[in-house]
Chains A and B, each alone.
Chain A
C-alpha cells in the first residue's frame, strides 16, 4: 500500500483501521445503522452500555433539544449482558471492524461480573468501562468523580480481564487529569472523554423540567465540543495511554482538532442522529487532510498541537 496514508491506530492490544467510531448510546447495537453505513469501514463499533440485568431505563421524557445540543436521560436502557451475547453479538460475526462493548453498573461487583462474562466472548475486542453515566442513581457518574473508587474499580477490572480496557470519564469530576493518571497506573490501556455533563431545561409554562420526572440529563452535541477538546488537551499532557476524544464532533475538522489536541481516536455521538452517514465522511475527510498536508500516518498528527 505504498503512497496510501495510514489511518490505523492502536489502543492496547487492538488495532483500529482508522480512528473513527461511534459513541456508545448513540449507535444502538450497530444493526440499527446498517441501512445507512457500512460498519466494516469503521475503526470500531462501540455498542450500547451493557449491564448485568436488562434495564428499562428512564421515564419519559427522555430527551429535549437545547442550543446546538440535546439533553438526554436514557438511564442505560439495555437488554442486559445475557441477551446481548445471545441476540446481538452474532451479528458481528460478519463484520471485521473491532467491537468494543461499553459496560455499565450499579456496583463494583456488577461491573466485574459483566466484565468477566464479556471476557469469555472471542468476538469482543475491548471493553469501555463507563464510570460516567449521568443518568443512573447509583454507580455511573458517582463512581467517576471519586478517585479512590476509580482506583479500586480499574484495578479490579484489570484483574478480571485480559482484554483491552478503556475507561470512559465524566467531566463532572473536579479535574480529569488525576482520574486519567489513576486509570493509567491501574492498568487501563485507554481513556475516553468526555461523557455528557449534567444539564437542565425548564418549561416556563408548566415550570417543570423539559425532561419531566427525570429533571436533569446529560448535555451532548456540538454545544460541548470546546469543553471536551480542552479536557482532552489537558489529559494528553499527563498520560501516555491513548485518549479517545468525544464531545460534539460533527465533521472531519472537529475530529482533527481532537487528534491534534492529543486524541488517538475519536467517537461520534449525537451527529449520527443528524446524519447517520457522518462517520464515513469523517474518515474520508481525515484521509484527505493527511494527503493534502503530506502526512504519512495519523500517528504523526496525534498530540501535534503547537503552543
Chain B
C-alpha cells in the first residue's frame, strides 16, 4: 500500500511525528496496533520497520494516521527525511490492540521514553468511551533533554514526569513514581495500567503488578522480520499458566513444547499487547 504523507514534523531532538492519509476503504487501526514501513529505496536498511499507531484523527475527507518515532537508526533516519506529499510503502494495521473496559472511571498510563507513542491513541479511546475518565500519565525519561511532548500529553491526562537524573519532575524511574503514587493513594490499584517502554522497565512493572495487585497491559517490542507471522523472529516466552485467550486476543500463533512446559508467542501476531503477567520476563531477558 502507498499512503501519502500529509505532514512530517520534528518535535525537537530525534523525535518526529508523521501524519499519513488513510485511504477511504482501508481499515482504521486500534490503539496498540502497528504498521510496517519500508524505510529505504535499496537493500540497506533491508527490513521494514514496525511502528505503532500514535493517534488516529478524523481529517477533512478521511482518517489520518499519526506515527510518533525516534530517529535512532538508518531506517528511522531515512524516514525523518521524507517530505509532505511523498508516498510511503506501508502495510498494516497488524497485531492486537489494547483491551479497554468502557466502565472504568480511572486509568493509568506508564511510559518509558518513546514508549509514550502507542499510549496516546489509547488515551483518546478511553476518553471516547467515558469523557469524564480520569487518566494519569506517568512518563519516565533519562533526563529533561528527552522530553518533547509534555504539552500534548497534558491535553489528554494528568501528566507526571520522572527523570532518572532528577533534571525534571520526580527524581527516579516511572515505576518508582507509580509506586509512590499508589502508596500515597494518588492512583487507585483498581485502575487498569497500560504501559510501554524499555523491557527492563516493563519487567519491573510486572513485579509491581503482583506486589500491588493491579491489572496491567503492556505493548512489547521484539525484532521482527515480517510483521505478519511468517518469519517467527519475534517469538517471546510466555508463562503457560498465565495465558489469556479471548476474542480480542485470539493468540493464534502460540507454539507449545511437546510437554506443555514451554510456550512461545509471536509479538507481531499474538501481541504486541499482552497482559503483563503472561510474559516470562526472566526467560525473555536472559
Contacts and interface: CB of A to CB of B under 8 A. Distances in A.
Interface stretch (A58-66, A161-169, A280-288): A58-66
Nearest to A61: B223
B48 A274 contact: yes
Q: Which of B38, B223, B227, B257 has the most chain A CB atoms closer than 10 A to its own CB?
A: B223
Contacts of A33: 228, 230
Interface residues of A, number: 41
B90 to A, nearest CB: 12
A37 to B, nearest CB: 11
B235 A26 contact: no
Interface stretch (A8-16, A67-75, A237-245): A67-75
Contacts of B255: 54-57, 77-79
Interface in A260-280: 270, 272-276
Interface in B13-51: 38, 43-48
Contacts of B38: 274-275
Interface string B164-192: 00000000000000000000000000000
B230 A272 contact: yes
Nearest to B227: A273
Q: How large is the interface on B (under 10, 10 to 19, 20 to 34, 35 or more residues)?
A: 20 to 34
Contacts, number: 107
Given A28-B229, A33-B230, A273-B230, A60 B48 contact: no
A222 B47 CA distance: 11
The majority secondary structure among interface residues of chain B is loop
Contact of A68 (B46, B222, B232, B235): B46
A59 B258 contact: no
A266 B91 CA distance: 26
Interface in A35-91: 36, 53-57, 59-65, 67-70, 72, 74, 77-80
A255 B231 CA distance: 22
Given A62-B234, A77-B255, A79-B255, A68 B263 contact: no
A130 to B, nearest CB: 15
B142 to A, nearest CB: 15
A70 B283 CA distance: 24
Nearest to B40: A274
Nearest to B228: A32
A60 B222 contact: yes
A72 B225 contact: yes
Nearest to A210: B223
Contacts of A275: 38
Interface in B246-269: 255-258, 262-264
B233 interface: yes
B237 interface: yes
Nearest to A54: B258
A250 interface: yes
Contacts of A62: 223, 232-235
Contacts of A233: none
Q: Which of B222, B227, B235, B258 has the most chain A CB atoms closer than 10 A to its own CB?
A: B235
B231 A63 contact: yes
B286 A59 contact: yes
B202 interface: no
A79 B258 CA distance: 10
Interface string A196-238: 0000000000000000110000000111000000000000000
A27 interface: yes
A56 B283 CA distance: 13
A60 B225 contact: no
B226 interface: yes
B46 A274 contact: yes
Contacts of A67: 44
A69 B286 contact: no
B236 interface: yes
A56 B43 contact: no
B284 interface: yes
15 contacts: A25-B231, A26-B231, A32-B229, A36-B91, A56-B235, A56-B257, A57-B232, A60-B237, A62-B232, A65-B46, A77-B232, A78-B255, A212-B286, A274-B38, A274-B48
Interface of A: 25-28, 32-33, 36, 53-57, 59-65, 67-70, 72, 74, 77-80, 212-213, 221-223, 250, 270, 272-276
